[in-house]
Amino acid sequence: MSTVQRNMSLTGEPPKTINTQQKIASFIGLLGLMVLVLAFFNLNFPNKSLWLTASIIAIGGGTVWFSIAAYANKHEGIKNDGVYFKSLTSKGFWAWILGIFLTLFYVLLYWFPQYLGLAQDGNNSGVVALFDPLSQFLNGGPASQWFLYGTLYTLAILAFGIKFLLKYRHNKYEKLRTYSVMFFQLGFAFLIPELMSRLNSDSFSLPYYDLKNIWPLNYYNFEQYRVDSFISAGDIGLGLLIFGVASIFIITPILTYKYGKRWYCSWVCGCGGLAETAGDPFRHLSDKSQMAWKVERWVIHSVLVFVVLMTTAVVYSYLGDDSSKYWLTKNTFLISVAVFLTLVFAGTWIFKRDELKKDAKLGAIGYFVIIISLIGFHYFSGTKLFLFEAETLRQTYGFLIGAVFSGVIGVGFYPIFGSRVWCRFGCPMAAILGFQQRLFSKFRITTNGGQCISCGNCSTYCEMGIDVRAYAQKGENIVRSSCVGCGICSAVCPRGVLKLENGPLEKRISSNEILLGNDVDLMNYVNK
């Protein structure tokens, strides 16, 4: 079967999908990239501000021009022609080249920033130095590899965001949420934290804080150095600390209840933002098999358990037994965590038992592991979790999840595994939001009676690997924890079957095996 398939697209030789303007635009974009590469190889540019500006304009402008050339003179509508014929978007040669390039970049970024030109003391060199002027301008200090990364990341979301806007210009939902992620990335993730760090002085210092980054996505938010720094920064710091806690325990549940996890994953989050813009051409590569779904549920919930444990261990380790510095004591903290988790677990068990079914086992195991570990903390008085130091745990998490998973695999492998691998398999924030979305939210995707023709566009273009068709063809609502509400399934559906909606909780999960259009008696009979 697979050989037939291959023949079909290869003998296909579809027309060249790139026109002349697109070629020139790509060339300009690559020139911009070339400046960065040359800087990386230590070519010392004389006027750094000028070259950096030129490079950024060339990359951004090239991308935008490319998109205009690609979409502007076409009809408004779905633009997936030839997706599976192009090497870049069908795991061909160029996909691998791009994947390897991105992966290498992440490896340097996380573990070998010195090769990018980062200097511990003294002046930066290489490509990091190229970003010094911009960094000076924004925050008053020299650039770091993270500043370079943040700038390029923002540039990518903005430039590819414009591409996305052109591509889906007939779809207002897509447009609005793209404006939203572009705004949050530029303002909240990039400018505000840089400007905030300008306020820092010897007597006043706030940690770098991207306000839209919520624990457990920013797993480091409650580490000692940050908490100390918040506390020492007076009211503002305390306010931020409280905001950090409220974000996850109050704001998040309310918004997720009203709108589903999409308010965060497709409208605010930076990881989601990059996936939706730069990652959009790769969304169809996500694995739709049932096997992948099984793996997903195990992996993402393990990460969640891991981050809860890690954070508890870290906080526990620095809370003093006496209440002079932190008003929380070690034991109060442990007990509150245990009580909170028990409440959540018991609540779900009592009210949502029917909806959980199989997942219940998973939840129970996770809960059990955490509680046992909490007891473990207590016994080993907090410096160790069984054999591991809290600090070791933190480092392991930072390395495995924070760097390898979210960066190298999450973004580096866009062209191979699709754009939301991290969001789907790794992100603990997504796990929490998804848990709530599944059980306690007004959000669902409704299906339009019996109109589905099982064509598969929705499943193919679902970046989260949800087999949307499996529900749509049965006339069932789609209520899945992993759905980020990107709305693309609804956009690509040629029969107008799917609609993202917030509605009442009753009948949210419906399952009508006999679809609309058929004999009413028969429907009643079967649904009895």
* Contacting positions for other proteins (CB under 8 A): 1-2, 4-5, 8-9, 11-15, 75-78, 80-86, 170-173, 176, 289-290, 448-451, 453-457, 459-460, 469-470, 473, 487, 490-491, 494-496, 499-501, 513-522, 525-526
Least distance to ligand SF4, CB of residue 213, Å? 21
Least distance to ligand SF4, CB of residue 452, Å? 3
Out of ligand SF4, other proteins, none, which partner does residue 404 contact, by CB within 5 to 8 A per kind?
Answer: none
Q: Are 439 and 348 in contact (CB under 8 A)?
A: yes
Q: Which of these segments, 156-164, 253-261, 270-278, 485-493, binds ligand SF4 (CB under 6 A)? A: 485-493
Pairing of strands 384-385, 388-389: antiparallel
Does position 452 bind ligand SF4 by CB under 6 A? yes
Q: Which of 68, 100, 453, 470 binds ligand SF4 (CB under 6 A)?
A: 453
> Could you say which residues in the range 232-271 bind ligand SF4, by CB under 6 A?
none
- The whole-angstrom separation of Cα 475 and Cα 331 is 51
Q: Are 139 and 198 in contact (CB under 8 A)?
A: yes
Least distance to other proteins, CB of residue 490, Å? 5
Does position 484 bind ligand SF4 by CB under 6 A? yes
**Per-residue 3-state assignment (H helix, E strand, C coil) for 421-482:** HHHHHHCHHHHHHHHHHHHCCCEEEEECCCCCCCCCHHHHCCCCCCCHHHHHCCCCCECCCC
> Among residues 15 and 122, whose Cβ is nearest to other proteins?
15
Which residue type sits at 218? N
The burial of 175, by beta-carbon neighbours within 10 Å (0-12 exposed, 13-18 middle, 19 or more buried), is given as middle
Q: Which of 156, 271, 432, 497 binds ligand SF4 (CB under 6 A)?
A: 497
Out of other proteins, ligand SF4, none, which partner does residue 13 contact, by CB within 5 to 8 A per kind?
Answer: other proteins
Out of other proteins, ligand SF4, none, which partner does residue 483 contact, by CB within 5 to 8 A per kind?
Answer: ligand SF4
> Among residues 226 and 284, whose Cβ is nearest to other proteins?
284
Q: At what angle do helices 390-397 and 290-318 cross, to 10 degrees?
A: 140
Q: Is the dihedral of CA 211, 213, 214, 216 positive or negative?
A: negative
- The whole-angstrom separation of Cα 252 and Cα 381 is 32
402 phi/psi in degrees, rounded to 5: -65, -40
- The whole-angstrom separation of Cα 192 and Cα 189 is 7
Q: Which of 159, 468, 475, 481 binds ligand SF4 (CB under 6 A)?
A: 468
Q: Prior bond to 216 cis, omega within 30?
A: yes
Least distance to ligand SF4, CB of residue 488, Å? 4
Out of ligand SF4, other proteins, none, which partner does residue 8 contact, by CB within 5 to 8 A per kind?
Answer: other proteins
Which residue type sits at 479? V
Q: Which of these segments, 98-106, 164-172, 328-336, 471-479, binds ligand SF4 (CB under 6 A)? A: 471-479
Q: Tokens 């809370």 map to which residue?
A: 319
Q: Which of these segments, 28-36, 360-368, 426-434, 462-470, binds ligand SF4 (CB under 6 A)? A: 462-470
Out of other proteins, ligand SF4, none, which partner does residue 268 contact, by CB within 5 to 8 A per kind?
Answer: none
Out of ligand SF4, other proteins, none, which partner does residue 239 contact, by CB within 5 to 8 A per kind?
Answer: none
Q: Which of 466, 467, 476, 479 binds ligand SF4 (CB under 6 A)?
A: 466
Does position 485 bind ligand SF4 by CB under 6 A? yes
> Could you say which residues in the range 70-99 bind ligand SF4, by CB under 6 A?
none
- The whole-angstrom separation of Cα 411 and Cα 424 is 13
How is residue 280 annotated by DSSP?
G
Which residue type sits at 377? F
Q: Tokens 């951004």 map to which residue?
A: 60
Give me the DSSP letters along 154-169: HHHHHHHHHHHHHHTT
Nearest to 466 by CA among 489, 496, 439, 491: 489
Token code pair at residue 344: 């959540």
> Among residues 402 and 485, whose Cβ is nearest to ligand SF4?
485
Least distance to ligand SF4, CB of residue 463, Å? 6
Does position 450 bind ligand SF4 by CB under 6 A? no
Least distance to ligand SF4, CB of residue 224, Å? 37
> Among residues 176 and 246, whose Cβ is nearest to other proteins?
176
> Among residues 357 and 528, whose Cβ is nearest to other proteins?
528
Q: Tokens 């018991």 map to which residue?
A: 346
Residues that bind ligand SF4 (CB under 6 A): 452-458, 462, 464, 466, 468-469, 472-473, 478, 483-489, 493, 495, 497-498
